[in-house]
């Protein structure tokens, strides 16, 4: 938000709250749009991960974690992504 205001030459501290000047109907519309976009991006991203994991499994490198027998940064990053997908009710079924 601060960067967007700075690019427009506006001071963050002197501007009124942008959310306060928008009607609740407008805010609700934007929330709905963002939720749909998040679901789309999450589903697309998790589908890519699924393909990568299937390739790993096909090479015989399968294990209980994303890339073998031990945890990696991929496993650490997948946990919050799956949690966000569950929160946004993104379909997590392999398709």
Q: Render pLDDT for 13-44 as a digit per residue (tens, 0 to 9).
A: 544 455 556 567 767 777 777 777 777 888 88
pTM of the model: 0.57
String of b and e for 53-77 (b: at least 16 CB within 10 Å)?
beebeeeeeeeeebbeeeeeeeeee
Structure tokens at 84: 């966000």
Please write the tens of the pLDDT for every residue from 69-94: 889 898 898 888 888 888 877 666 65
CA–CA distances in Å: residue 82 to residues 11, 39, 66: 37, 11, 13
Spatial distance between the Cα atoms of 27 and 50, rounded to a whole number of angstroms? 34
Structure tokens at 77: 């990053």
> Which pLDDT band holds residue 53 (cuts at 50, 70, 90)?
confident
């Amino acid at each position: 938000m601060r960067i967007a205001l700075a690019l427009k030459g506006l001071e963050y501290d002197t501007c009124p709250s942008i959310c306060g000047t928008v009607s609740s109907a407008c805010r609700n519309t934007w929330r709905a749009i963002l939720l749909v976009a998040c679901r789309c991006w999450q589903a697309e991203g998790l589908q890519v991960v699924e393909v990568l994991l299937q390739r790993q499994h096909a090479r015989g490198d399968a294990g209980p974690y994303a890339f073998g027998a031990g945890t990696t940064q991929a496993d650490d990053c997948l946990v919050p992504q799956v949690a966000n997908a569950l929160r946004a009710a993104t379909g997590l079924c392999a398709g």
